[in-house]
Amino acid sequence: MITRSKYKLVRFLPLAVLLIVAGFALLFRNEVRLNVTRLLVLVPHAGVSGTSAGYQTILYQKVVEENARLSSLLSLPRAEVIAAGRVVAHPPRTLYDTLVVAIEPRTAVRRGDLVFFEGILLGTASSVTRGSTSVVLYSSPGASTEVKVGEPTAIVVMKGLGGGAFTFEVPAAVSLEPSDLVTSAATDAVIAIVRSVSTEEGSASVRVYASAPVSMSDLDLVEFVHPY
Amino acid sequence: MLKIVLSISYIVSSVFLPWWVTVALGIALVVHFKLWWVAILGGLLMDLVFGAPIAALGGFAYLFSLLFVVLSLLALMLRQRMLE
């Protein structure tokens, strides 16, 4: 028979379970993240089965390392690709234009590293744990980056709107059309493609809307580069 | 039995399904089954795995945890008001 005092204790049981489990989860957040990322790697993605996806990631990482070694031997100027990773989660599974990328535990990826997909600059690594990293895309709401666009070339601050969309303002004197490329001011890598240009009569600037040139669902293997 | 199935589905969806599916299941858990602690745990799991500092929110990274905590408190308050 449940007495009054035992009933009071039982009422607080869910809260106690929540606090204990949450405490352990926060204490071992890196392990939680690593193990869930391992599960996500096994999920078929972009038409590739989970097990071969892991194998592909390892192969791609070896190709990246060999390419870097050969470029160094030949003294070829190139950005130093330090690691490759596989995108295991992207919007709409994640919120606010972020990616979860599975990486080899021994890689030298660190917070702030640039993330590329087939030469397109996507964003930066925001948090790195052993085996996985979160990438915040430049299209994430509130994110901003300096870009070059138009003729004559203007350097402007482009802001993310979410969903792969961007917006920025350029002086009216800058010639700009839909399908023009928007490149990073720091790396000259393509970040976005102009979709629409809206002008207001009498205004000295025009509002430009752009979008990422690649779909979130197409993101597969990405490369990490130290900022330069 | 339905509670257990829904709770497991919710936790699994928090990792493998789009976020809006998880939120819908979480709302059902909180409002109908009063399993607010499961909803908060699922939100915490989502934030630990997928969370990243969000510039639009001043670098806050635990959006889903906060969402389900607020939802649980709201459900509790409304339930008490309706019972009075």
Chain B residues with beta carbon closer than 8 angstroms to that of A98:
50, 52
pTM above 0.90, yes or no: no
Chain A residues with beta carbon closer than 8 angstroms to that of B49:
32-33, 36-37, 89, 100
CB contact under 8 A, A136 and B55: yes
For residue B49, the chain A residue with the least C-alpha distance is A33
pLDDT in tens, B11-55: 888 888 888 888 899 998 888 888 888 899 999 988 888 877 777
Chain B residues with beta carbon closer than 8 angstroms to that of A23:
none
Q: Determine contact: A93 vs chain B, CB below 8 A.
A: yes
**Longest pairwise C-alpha distance within chain A:** 83
Q: How, if at all, do strands A165-171 and A132-137 pair?
A: unpaired
**Longest pairwise C-alpha distance within chain B:** 42
Helices (H), chain A: 4-11, 13-27, 29-42, 50-73
Chain A residues with beta carbon closer than 8 angstroms to that of B45:
25, 32, 36
pLDDT in tens, A176-226: 889 999 999 988 899 999 999 988 777 888 999 999 999 888 888 899 998
- Smallest Cβ–Cβ distance between A126 and the set B20, B41, B52 belongs to B52
Confidence of residue A43 (pLDDT cuts 50, 70, 90): low
Q: What gap in Å lies between CA A19 and CA B27, rounded to an integer?
A: 20
Query: How much is the mean pLDDT over chain A?
Result: 82
As for the ipTM of the complex, it is: 0.72
CB contact under 8 A, A98 and B50: yes
Q: What is the dihedral of CA A131, A97, A110, A145, to 10 degrees?
A: 170
Reported as half-sphere exposure (CB side, CA atoms, 13 A), residue B23 has a value of: 15
Task: Tell me: pLDDT of B70 over 70.
Answer: yes
Chain A residues with beta carbon closer than 8 angstroms to that of B57:
142
Q: What gap in Å lies between CA A225 and CA A108, rounded to an integer?
A: 10
Q: From B19, B80, B3, select the one nearest A91 (Cα to Cα).
A: B19
Q: Determine contact: A43 vs chain B, CB below 8 A.
A: yes
Structure tokens at A66: 């060999």
Please give the backbone phi and psi of residue A220, each rounded to the nearest 5 degrees, phi first.
-130, -90
Chain A residues with beta carbon closer than 8 angstroms to that of B54:
95-96, 136, 140-142
Angle at A4 between CA B71 and CA B72, to 5 degrees: 0
- Residue A91 preceded by cis peptide, ω within 30: no
What distances in angstroms separate CA A194 from CA A116, A178, A209, B42, one per listed residue?
Answer: 19, 5, 6, 39
Q: Determine contact: A21 vs chain B, CB below 8 A.
A: yes
Considering only CB atoms, which residues of chain B are within 8 Å of chain A?
A: 15-20, 35-37, 40-41, 44-45, 48-57, 63-64
Which range has the worst mean pLDDT, A18-32, A73-87, A202-216, B3-17? Answer: A73-87
For residue B19, the chain A residue with the least C-alpha distance is A93
Angle at B57 between CA B55 and CA B61, to 5 degrees: 85
